[in-house]
Amino acid sequence: MTTQSTTDSAYRRAVTVTVNGKEFTRDVDTRTTLADWLREDLQLVSVHLGCEQGACGCCNVLLDGQSVRSCLMLAVQANGHEVETVESLSADPGNLHPIQEAFHEEHGLQCGFCTPAMVLRTKELLAEQQHRTDEEVRDGISGILCRCTGYQNIVNSVQCAARKLSKQSPAPIAAGAGTGDSPATEGKA
């Protein structure tokens, strides 16, 4: 029995990870994937496991704002980082995030298995650049497999989300705005 408990403790490490804005410090088995830790220990079941080989992308989460396959990453590798799952977007099911609204309105989901990963990838894509062509959107989501939608409704959802988010962003202030000067009259009296 002593040998077994010594062996088990050799595979455990303390990690501190910020998940969906909340810091967690846990003793984690070093062999546990980030996906399993999020699902089993933190009960964040939006992280779906499809292939468990990194091919389908359904387990995507954001690590420091970048998409990662949580089935290929160990939980201990997330130590000191920020992890975001789709649960971070809206704590209240009746108050959806604009990206979630867009997926609902544009029917960008069917069975829902890939949806959390698609929503997070959309968040990442639109944070990088809000205005994208349909081809750029298709390229951006290409690492996440969807067997239901044919992708066009997902592309439509991303474009709808971009429009919704751009309405929330303050308009850029034009040169001379608020001063009474326009670029054509600036400096002339």
Count of domains forming the chain: 2
Could you tell me if residue 2 is inside a domain? Answer: no
Judge whether residue 2 has pLDDT over 90: no
- Is 112 in the same domain as 78? no
Q: How far apart are CA 64 and CA 127, in angstroms?
A: 12
CATH code: domain of residue 58: 3.10.20.30
pLDDT (tens digit per residue) in 65-121: 999 999 999 999 999 999 999 999 987 878 999 999 999 999 999 899 999 999 999
- Tell me whether residue 16 is in a domain: yes
Question: Over 50: is that where the pLDDT of 175 sits?
Answer: no
- CATH code assigned at 132: 1.10.150.120
Q: Print the domain residue range for 52.
A: 12-88
Q: How far is CA 171 from the centre of its chain?
A: 25
CA pair distance 7, 89, nearest whole angstrom: 39
pLDDT tens figures, 118-173 = 999 999 999 999 899 999 999 999 999 998 888 999 999 999 999 999 987 654 44
pLDDT score at 179: 41
